[in-house]
Structure formats: C-alpha cells, structure tokens
Chain A
C-alpha cells in the first residue's frame, strides 16, 4: 500500500510543480496503476519523489505503513522501491549482466540472468555481455531497464514513460511485456504513460494536471475525461502554463 499525504513540490525558483497531493493506492486490489496527464503536469516529479531522487517541499510518503519520506534513494531501494528511468542511463564498462546482478542483489547464473532478458523480448545471449553504452539503441536500453526492474521484483515498481523514445515496432512488443507483467506481478506497479493501450489495462488511473490530482479511478471513470468532455479543461491547463 502506497500512501501520499499532503505532498507538494516547489522548485527553488518558487514554481509549484505538485500541489497538495493526497493518494492511497491499495496494494491488494490496485496492483497496476497508471499515472497520466499532460506534459509538465508533474508526473515524473511525483515518481522521482517516491523513489527519493527529489525531496518534497512538504508532505509524507508511506509504503506499507512505513514513513519513507526521510529515507535516501538507497534506503528506499532496499525497502522495496524500484524506479525505471524514462531515459535509461548509459555506462562505460558496465555490462547488461552486471546491472541485472546489481538489481538482483546477487550473482545470478547465466540462465537466470538470461530469463529476465527473454522476458522483455531480447535474445539474451546476444546482449548479456554487452556494455550499456552508446552502442545500444533507445528501444534496447528501455527493454534492459525493464528487465532490470523485473530482476529486482520489489514491493513497488515505478516506470516513468516506458514508451518514450522508442520506435513503434519496439512499442508493440513492449505493450505485450506490460500486459504480461500486469497478469503475473507480485508487487505493485505504478506506470507513467500517455498510451491508451497501457491505460486500458491499468486497474486504476491517476490523472494529474497542473500539479494536482484531477481524477483517480477505474479506466471507465477516468478515460472519458481524457477522451472527451474534460479534454478541453486539460488543454486549458496547458495553455495557462504556456505549453
């Protein structure tokens, strides 16, 4: 169970990115929850605050009743939070196998490590000893990032726009990965996405706009706000911020 209480984030320049967010995501019935909303609505900021990468100006975050607000990134990771980056990081000299082992917290056998890559549709033996550097495409990096999150299999996994920056072909197979994940997960997944396909199988959708939660409900409840009636109001919010 993830709880967020009265959380706000104001930049050092005084700009409010998130305003008084209150949220309670039930870990039993709401295992696959999507966060959506216009660009600049504060989605990534919220995800980074949960992962400990950004510090909120005010508010509290609780995971299974434990207040994690004051914990470092490392402590949160060790207490069950995983964050998959929107733009995966490249390294020189760290291989795919290395990062999967770090994620798993132990030296995996070749078969175990390869299984995680196969899960995301990569031909494992072609990738396992490759460096996570410029030689990998955006789509390949994205899949490795997701495989790394699989290898951690923590209580809470946050994906920040897994569809961003990948080609359409990769996207189609990525959707399948998330569909499968949705069916088989043990922990809880928060996924930031603009993609209707991903939103369509989320058990709950959080709609953020201009730093506030505009809606939190099932797809049936929230999707119409995105598609029809309230689209105008979102456009208005964007226009208001000059986007």
Chain B
C-alpha cells in the first residue's frame, strides 16, 4: 500500500508529524488508527498485523530472528468528544531486534473531552531486543474540552531479552495516568526513559511497577519532568527485586511557578542478592545555572528555556 492509497489529509499529517511519524513511515508493517477506528494497516514478510476479533485493537506478530525492522503504530484523534479504547498486543519472537514507534496525538477543537486509552502488552521472546518509543501530544483551541490519555504498558521479557522504552509527553495533554508494568526473566533488562512537561492546570501521574524475577535481570528507570504554572505531577515507582538482580530508578523534576510534584519511590528487595537504588530530586532551576548561561550572553528567559529543553530532551 502506498501513500496515495491512504489519502491522509494535511491536518492529520501535521499531527502525525508531532509524533515523529511521516507519511513514508506508513508502509510495510504499520497501523494507523484515526478517531476511534482502524484507518489503515499493513504487514511485511516478517511482521503480521491483524485486527483483534473480540476487542478493539491489533495483534502484532514479529517472526523470530527479524532484525532491523521499524514498525509505526500511531493513533490520532481529530474530532472532539471521542473516547477511544484500544488493546494492542505485541508478540516479539526470539532473537529479534526491532523498533516500534507508537504515539497518540489529539487535536481537540470542540467543547467535549477527547480521550485515548491505549493498553499495550509486550511479550518479548528470548534474547530479543525491542526499542519502543511513544510520544503523547495534544493541541486545543481556547475553551475546548480536555485532552486525556491513559496509556498502560505491560511488558513481559523472557530470558536474555532487552527492551528500551522511551516515552515523551511535552505538550497539550490535560490529564494522564500512565501505567507501566514489567516482569523480567533471567538476564532480561528493561530500560525506561520518561520525559514529561506539564503546564496550565494539567495533571500527570506515572506508575511504574517492575518485578525483577529472573537471575541477573535488571531495570533502569529514568524520569525527568518539568511542572509549570498550576500543573501537578505524581511519580510512583515500585521495583521488586525477587532474585539476584539490579534495579535503579531516578526521578528528577524541575518545579516552577505554582506547580506541585510528588515522588513516591518504593524499592523492595526479596532476595539478599538484589541491589536496588532509588534517587529522587525535585527543585527549581538552580540560580547558578541561569547565571552561567547569562554570562554567556543569553537572557534569563532564554537561559531558562535552554535549561528546561536540555533537561527533558
């Protein structure tokens, strides 16, 4: 299928662009969901994407040994008042090395709330590697309804598997509860990087729960966030070391204006060979950082923007 077949309007392409998805990415194995319905999808020789029979959503099967393939599965909402719920299941065969680009973009120009709840389950085979990125983006007009996104990601990694998850929410999402659960087998590794910026009256909640069940399994969770205006953020992490394993969570937040940020870390070692660390830091931009950049010729505002952009990029 080529782009001419898809006939995607410019406004939709604009939102897809915000999710780093270009028209040319929607070929081979891909899925595009628009306004609560499947819009287009395709499969490749090694990746089969099929619609679920009993639930909204898709099953993505990646053949064992597939390497270097990139799969895009964006979702966009362009009509106000849509409540979209979707279940996507990923079955990644043994020894794969693939990249998956997900994301949700909402353009809400009406008075009703627009919501997308995406429940993604990953079943990662032995020694497979997955790089998974998801970007959440919203845009509204004045007095429009809220943009709501509640992504849930459930990750099961078999022996020797590796997954890296890069999740970004920079702008325009009014309310979000982001849940990520991981269960790791022997030697499996899960690395999660989260970057969030909230402003206005927005609320963002993150819940990480990782069970390090396998011997020599490991996880590294990095959350960096900026809270501006009256926005609120809550970061909850829960890492369970149930074997010889290592876990490291870092929550770093810059707080500005009248915002509020809470970090609730929990690490539980259920094995004497578990090594777990949690670091959390919340604070305003350090004055000396602003001064340093101002001595290099930036204005205070430029310095602030530079520090924030660096922090969450």
Q: Which residues of A contact B (CB under 8 A)?
A: 51, 53, 72-74, 77-78, 81-83, 85, 88-89, 91-95, 98-99, 102-103, 105, 148, 152
Asked if residues B300 and A89 are in contact (CB atoms below 8 Å), the reply is no
Please name all residues of chain B whose beta carbon is closer than 8 Å to the beta carbon of A91 when the two chains form the complex: 289, 307, 310
By DSSP majority rule, is chain B's interface helix, strand, loop, or mixed? helix
Q: Which residues of B contact A (CB under 8 A)?
A: 224, 252, 286, 288-289, 291-300, 306-307, 309-313
Please name all residues of chain B whose beta carbon is closer than 8 Å to the beta carbon of A95 when the two chains form the complex: 310
When C-beta atoms are compared, the residue in chain B nearest to A84 turns out to be B295
When C-beta atoms are compared, the residue in chain A nearest to B303 turns out to be A74
Asked if residues B294 and A77 are in contact (CB atoms below 8 Å), the reply is yes
Please name all residues of chain B whose beta carbon is closer than 8 Å to the beta carbon of A92 when the two chains form the complex: 224, 252, 310-311
Asked if residues B294 and A94 are in contact (CB atoms below 8 Å), the reply is no
Asked if residues A94 and B310 are in contact (CB atoms below 8 Å), the reply is yes
The A/B interface has a contact count, at CB < 8 Å, of 61
Query: Which 6 A-B residue pairs are closest in the complex by CB-CB distance?
Result: A93-B310, A94-B310, A73-B294, A77-B297, A89-B292, A93-B311
Please name all residues of chain B whose beta carbon is closer than 8 Å to the beta carbon of A148 when the two chains form the complex: 296
The distance in angstroms between the C-alpha atoms of A77 and B299, with both chains bound, is: 10
Asked if residues B307 and A94 are in contact (CB atoms below 8 Å), the reply is yes
Please name all residues of chain B whose beta carbon is closer than 8 Å to the beta carbon of A72 when the two chains form the complex: 294
Asked if residues A103 and B296 are in contact (CB atoms below 8 Å), the reply is yes
Please name all residues of chain A whose beta carbon is closer than 8 Å to the beta carbon of B294 when the two chains form the complex: 72-74, 77
- Of B252, B295, B299, B310, which is in contact with the most chain A CB atoms at under 10 Å from its CB? B295
B48 CB to nearest A CB, Å: 38
B291 CB to nearest A CB, Å: 6
Please name all residues of chain B whose beta carbon is closer than 8 Å to the beta carbon of A53 when the two chains form the complex: 291, 295
Asked if residues B297 and A102 are in contact (CB atoms below 8 Å), the reply is yes
Asked if residues B296 and A152 are in contact (CB atoms below 8 Å), the reply is yes
Q: List 11 A-B contacts (CB under 8 A).
A: A53-B295, A73-B291, A82-B295, A88-B292, A89-B286, A91-B289, A92-B311, A93-B224, A93-B309, A98-B310, A99-B296
A228 CB to nearest B CB, Å: 37
